[in-house]
Amino acid sequence: MKPFFAFLCTGFLAAACQGQSGTSAGKASFMTDTQNIPTTTVSVPAGMAIATFGNGCFWCTEAVFEELKGVQSATSGYSGGFVKNPAYKEVSAGRTGHAEVLQIVYDPKVVSFDKLLEVFWQTHDPTTLNRQGADVGSQYRSAVFYHTDEQLKLATDYKKKLDASGSFNGAIVTEITPFANFYVAEDYHQEYYKLNGDAPYCQFVVRPKVDKFRKVFAADLK
């Protein structure tokens, strides 16, 4: 993983999601008393499973997971915080406790949760606390919000193996915590790369990430 990680970090991790600036860099991941965290229900289509990942700006991560074989949908949203129905402006200011996340509906007969974890950990830097490149704040934290005990075990075991392997230069700070809530982000965030591919941010940040993902995971693309 070291060669891939070095390749991944070159260039585009230094850029930030436009207009986003957090205030909680260097602090612990935004954990609160679970009694104060609102909960939402999850509706999963028959035969499908669900995964919720926070790995930086969702404009980038959505574009990656949407191309993965077995993924039915990847919805950008907010999770893990204490504010109901948050607005993007609140989340991007670091005032809600929420992380920018993807809610992924996938077919476990086609793609495993382990494969989703592999893509998750190989397409962001899980060693920087509350930060991805120039995107700073708890809303950009690395997080797995698990839905089942099996997901908890798989994520925990995978994280331990990565740390033991020395795949990254620093310790992995990914938060692995039970899923509590998910709020769909505003419409203009959905399929952002597909609809705004010519925008400068997409050209200089999202596209290089997607292109590199396609090369590394060529056998797993739709």
Any idea which residues carry the catalytic annotation?
57
Q: How crowded is the C-beta side of 57, counted as CA atoms within 13 Å?
A: 27
Nearest to 23, CA basis, from 128, 114, 137, 105: 137
Looking at the DSSP bridge assignments, the partners of residue 101 are: 77
Nearest to 81, CA basis, from 67, 71, 95: 95
Enumerate the H helices of the chain as residue ranges: 2-9, 58-65, 88-92, 113-122, 149-165, 192-195, 200-201, 207-216
| Spatial distance between the Cα atoms of 72 and 75, rounded to a whole number of angstroms | 10
Question: Which sign, positive or negative, has the C-alpha torsion 221, 17, 131, 208?
Answer: positive
| Spatial distance between the Cα atoms of 79 and 86, rounded to a whole number of angstroms | 10
| Structure letter (DSSP) for residue 205 | I
